[in-house]
Amino acid sequence: MSSKFTEMSRQELREYILKNRDDDEALHIYLDRALAEPGTVYPAPQSIDDLKDFPLPKNGTSHR
């Protein structure tokens, strides 16, 4: 693993990847970090009524 990537935060690495899309090493390191962090798991809605209690996407767009 390249030391320049180990010193970067996940956000810095993401920004680097967006500017250097051909850098496969950076992408692999970013994905390894992203998959290593636990995420939030939400149960699938069972009915249309369940959608009213479903969390909104982080980007603020509506899911309706």
Q: Give the model's pLDDT for residue 31.
A: 93
Q: Give the model's pLDDT for residue 28.
A: 93
Q: Give the model's pLDDT for residue 16.
A: 96
Count of CB atoms situated within 10 Å of the CB of 14: 15
Q: Give the model's pLDDT for residue 51.
A: 79
Sign of CA dihedral 50, 53, 55, 61: positive
* Length of the chain measured in residues: 64
- Distance between CA 10 and CA 30 in Å, rounded? 7
Q: Is 32 helix (H, G, I), strand (E, B) or coil?
A: helix
**pLDDT tens track, the chain, 64 positions:** 457 898 999 999 999 999 999 999 999 999 999 889 888 777 788 888 887 877 766 665 554 4
Please give the radius of gyration of the chain, using alpha carbons only, rounded to the nearest integer.
Answer: 17
